[in-house]
Structure 1
Amino acid sequence: MAFAQRKIYPATEERRRFQRVKVHLLGRYMLPDRREFPCQVINMSPGGLAMLAPGIGNVGDRVIAYLDHIGRVEGKITRIIDNGFAMTVNATPRKRDKMAAQLTWLANRDILNLPEDRRHDRIVPRNPTAHVVLVNGTDMLCRIIDMSLSGAAVSSTVRPAIGSKITIGRVQAQVVRHLEEGFALEFAFPQTPDTLENNVTAR
């Protein structure tokens, strides 16, 4: 009885099978020494990506990243670029297929320039303290790591469940992922530059 054999591609050939697309994805990543930094992915395929990053490791270092719209990815640094690095993306065939569909949608979104889907630059607020109120009424005093018009990263010993509805300052939001020292949230409605800090850091 003959068995079908699945072709195994070498790593370099595997990466060549995927075409990188230009994207603008915000996220955070962690290096082997457990330092964590914000980042912006500038191009990506299901086999690799390039990101702008303030903390640059060494070629061969393992990286774990959490990216908007994509989620958790991990791989190894393959080369250093201006203000960042390129890395592989390790994933199962099923996850690669899902990632390819997500990247196609993201690339088309950028081409169409849809205003409701634009991502925004992150800033560190002048007053990083904010009140976070959970759905059960618990009021926590937290520190904002950084934020944008569409969301924020919050330092907290309590990590609400992903998908939880919360209020930060005067703004309704949803928890989208957990961080090493807290959690990330997405605002229910994008904020404006003039009101962002007052609304989010409101006492």
Structure 2
Amino acid sequence: MQSVVPFAPPSGEKSHLKKQDRRRWTRVDLNLPLRFLSESGHEVTGETINVSGGGVLFRTQSPPFRGERIVCYISELGRMSGHVVRSSAGEVAVISDAPFTKRDRVADQLTWLYNKSSLKLDEERRASREGGSGLILVQCEDGRELRCHVMDMSLVGVALATTNQRPLLGERVQVGTQQGKVARFLPEGFAVDFTR
């Protein structure tokens, strides 16, 4: 079963999506800041060149060794861990060791990020947000209950941090007594829109 290309640009427009190259996951050209932790515990910064559900190619001034296991924190995508399969001239290729469901979730996230970039969509705030604190229970469609930390909130939404598996983009959730839909992923969690 092959993954679906996230976005088909208008005819004649050059696509930034690479063709399936003997891999299950479609690579998306995105330049996102990242930081990674090496096995020795050193934290290093870099920038992605392309990302897929199955891994990431990034550039850094302090590349890890081939075969090393690292944990990456990619802006707007979150955590991705895996093994370095190539490290040359400051470019590093990592194969994700995440479960299949997590890889699918990353692919969904990439679809949204790529379309947002291609269509030049802005994330305009419709209401001012206030910093939050404390824990809240979030009920997912599949019956899971997540303990989340409130990062910030407004009349129309809330940003939540969690160490649990996040609900899917577009999934309807119950946040305390308020219902909403998962609008986007955050590095440490997800945001819920109450107006959708």
User: Residues 162 and 31 of structure 1: is their aligned pair in 2 closer, same or farther, counting only changes over 3 Å?
Assistant: farther
Shift of 1:81: 3.8
2:119 is equivalent to residue 112 of structure 1: yes
Q: 2:108 aligns with which of 89, 101, 104?
A: 101
CA distance in structure 2 between the aligned counterparts of 1:111 and 1:81, rounded to whole angstroms: 30
Runs of 4+ in 1 over 2 A off after TM superposition: 81-84, 113-117, 161-165, 174-178
Q: 1:164 aligns with which of 151, 160, 170?
A: 151
Q: Comparing both structures, which one devotes a greater share of its residues to helix?
A: 1
TM-score (norm 2): 0.51
Instruction: Trace 1:44-59 onto structure 2 (pairs within 5 A).
Output: 44-59=51-66
TM-score (norm 1): 0.50
Residue segments in structure 2 that go unaligned for 5+ positions in a row: 1-21, 125-130, 134-147, 153-158, 164-186, 189-196
**Matched position secondary structure for 2:104:** helix
Q: Please tell me the residue identity of whatever aligns with 2:41.
A: R
Cα-to-partner distance string for 1:130-176 (whole Å, 9 max, x where unaligned): xxxx878xxxxxxxxxxxxxxxxxxxxxxxx96435xxxxxxxx897
2:76 is equivalent to residue 69 of structure 1: yes
Shift of 1:47: 0.8
Residue segments in structure 1 that go unaligned for 5+ positions in a row: 1-14, 118-133, 137-160, 166-173, 179-183, 186-203
CA distance in structure 2 between the aligned counterparts of 1:97 and 1:37, rounded to whole angstroms: 26
Q: Please tell me the residue identity of whatever aligns with 2:151.
A: S
Number of residue pairs aligned between Structure 1 and Structure 2:
120
CA distance in structure 2 between the aligned counterparts of 1:113 and 1:164, rounded to whole angstroms: 27
Shift of 1:115: 5.0
CA distance in structure 2 between the aligned counterparts of 1:71 and 1:33, rounded to whole angstroms: 21
Percent sequence identity over matched residues? Answer: 30
CA distance in structure 2 between the aligned counterparts of 1:27 and 1:62, rounded to whole angstroms: 16
CA distance in structure 2 between the aligned counterparts of 1:84 and 1:116, rounded to whole angstroms: 31
**Matched position secondary structure for 1:99:** helix
- What is the RMSD of the two structures over their aligned residues, measured on CA atoms? 3.1
Shift of 1:21: 0.8
Aligned partner of 1:29 in structure 2 is 36
Q: Please tell me the residue identity of whatever aligns with 2:59.
A: L
Instruction: Trace 1:1-203 onto structure 2 (pairs within 5 A).
Output: 16-116=23-123, 163-165=150-152
Shift of 1:113: 2.8
**Matched position secondary structure for 2:102:** helix
User: Residues 22 and 177 of structure 1: is their aligned pair in 2 closer, same or farther, counting only changes over 3 Å?
Assistant: farther
